[in-house]
Amino acid sequence: MKRFLASVLFLFITCSCFSQELNQYKYVVVPYKFDFLKKHDKYRVNTLVRHLFKKEGFEVLYDNEDFPAELGNDRCMALYADINNESSIFMTKTSIVLRDCSNQIVLETPFGRTKVKEYAKAYNLTIRSAFEAIEAKNYSYQPKEKKVIPPPPPPVVVEETSEKVTVSDPTSMEPVTFKEGDEEVVEVQEVEEKEMATTESKKDVLYAQPIENGYQLVDSTPKVVMILLKSGVPNVYLVKGQDATVYKENGKWILSKTSGNGTKKKVLNVKF
């Protein structure tokens, strides 16, 4: 009896945690074409998934649509939906997977199963069955609380003094004589400054090396600075292990990173 009650309590706590986590997201992005299907909306799968999430209260977009401005600035406001299809010739078996902007799994539903042979009906039954786990979360959008940054302290006002400053007549100053040694020192400093600027610019360059499902960005060391994962949207990548995205805007690569203090953007010098 104690084990049974403990199991029930564990399931209740788990459901509550997942429910709260889903409530943080306003949007769900659905693939225009799922990988296991040959074309868009075959067997009406894309339309069904989109309909189910809309019915649950999410704002739903296809991954090839123009995103709203707030989602374009912060891709982490959305969950990215996919279907895990493990069907065989004897049974249709699917589950729904939701990932965040870092490609981490937020929720994966139990499999829906059926032995119905007609594909259109079978996918409809199994996807609806899998979606029941999401319906059980009672989704209600609750945006994350943003930390309010206190305003900077007022500037210190320096009182003007009545003291007069006497400036010498520049014509009465003695000319300054430079020796050859002084000129050489100045020239060396200029060369050193140019070398330092060149070195710093080389350090800022990140080189994109293709990997499975994306790229790794390395500096001139070479050291892996970050890993970019494909998001399904052209020229938009998810940064692995971070609440961040890298996307191309006006010919420049932008790193958009979300933290407790809001969203920060930085221009990256990426060479593909």
Helices (H), the chain: 2-22, 45-56, 69-73, 119-135, 180-204
Per-residue pLDDT reduced to its tens digit, 210-258: 998 889 988 888 788 899 998 888 888 898 988 889 988 888 899 988 8
pLDDT per position as a tens digit, 33-77 = 999 999 999 999 999 999 999 999 999 999 999 999 999 999 999
Task: Identify the pLDDT of residue 223.
Answer: 87
The predicted structure's pLDDT at residue 54: 97
SS3 of the chain: helix, strand, coil, percent, to 5: 35, 30, 40
Confidence of residue 102 (pLDDT cuts 50, 70, 90): very high
Is cis: bond before 222, omega within 30 of 0?
A: yes
Domain parsing of the chain, residue ranges:
16-135, 203-271
Predicted pLDDT of residue 187? 46
Q: For 167-217, how does the pLDDT look when each residue is reduced to its tens digit (9 = 90+)? A: 555 555 555 554 554 444 444 444 444 544 444 455 678 888 899 888 998
Q: Does domain 16-135 have CATH number 1.10.1740?
A: no
Q: Which two tokens stand for residue 183?
A: 């000129």
